[in-house]
A and B are shown apart, each in its own frame.
Chain A
Amino acid sequence: MASRIGFKAAGRALLMALVAAFGLGLLGPDSGGAQNAAPAEPAGEQQVSQPADYGQVLSLLQAQKAELGQELRRLHRELAAVKQQLEEPGLGTVFSGIGYILGLFGTAFFIHARAAYQRRSRED
Chain B
Amino acid sequence: MHISDGVLPTQVAVGCYVLGAVVVAWSTYRTRGDDLPKVALATASFFVASLVHVPLGPTSVHLLIPGIVGVLLGPSAFLAIAVGLTLQSMLFQFGGLTALGANALMMGIPALVCGRLFQALRGSSRQRAVAAGALVGALGVALAALILGLLLYSGGEDFLGVAQLALAAHLPVMVIEAAVTAFMVGFLSRVKPELLELPLGSGRQDALGVKA
Given A93-B91, A97-B88, A112-B206: A105 in contact with B212 (beta carbons within 8 A): no
Cβ-closest chain B residue relative to A123: B210
Least CB distance from B107 to A in Å reads 16
A116 CB contacts on chain B under 8 angstroms: 33, 206, 208, 210
A108 touches B91 (CB 8 A): no
Q: Which of B40-48, B163-171, B174-182 contacts A (4 or more CB under 8 A)?
A: B40-48
B206 touches A105 (CB 8 A): no
Report A73-124 residues with CB < 8 Å from chain B CB.
Answer: 87, 89, 93-94, 96-98, 100-102, 104-106, 108-109, 112-113, 115-116, 119-120, 123
Report B157-212 residues with CB < 8 Å from chain A CB.
Answer: 206, 208, 210, 212
Q: Is the interface of A mostly helix, strand, loop or mixed?
A: helix
Least CB distance from A113 to B in Å reads 7
Complex-state Cα separation, A100 to B91, whole angstroms: 11
Interface residues of B (CB under 8 A from A): 33-34, 36-37, 39-40, 43-44, 47-48, 51, 83-84, 87-88, 91-93, 206, 208, 210, 212
The 9 closest A-B pairs by CB, nearest first: A112-B33, A105-B40, A109-B36, A89-B92, A97-B87, A101-B44, A116-B206, A101-B43, A97-B91
A98 touches B48 (CB 8 A): yes
B87 touches A112 (CB 8 A): no
A98 CB contacts on chain B under 8 angstroms: 44, 47-48
Contacts A97-B88, A115-B33, A120-B210 known; list 16 others, CB within 8 Å.
A89-B91, A93-B92, A94-B48, A94-B51, A97-B92, A98-B48, A101-B44, A101-B84, A101-B87, A105-B39, A105-B43, A108-B36, A109-B37, A112-B206, A115-B212, A123-B210
A100 CB contacts on chain B under 8 angstroms: 87
A106 CB contacts on chain B under 8 angstroms: 40
Complex-state Cα separation, A101 to B210, whole angstroms: 27
Least CB distance from B61 to A in Å reads 15
B91 touches A120 (CB 8 A): no
Cβ-closest chain B residue relative to A93: B91
Neighbour of A102 across the interface among B40, B48, B206, CB < 8 A: B40
Least CB distance from B32 to A in Å reads 9
Complex-state Cα separation, A68 to B83, whole angstroms: 50
Neighbour of B36 across the interface among A96, A112, A115, CB < 8 A: A112
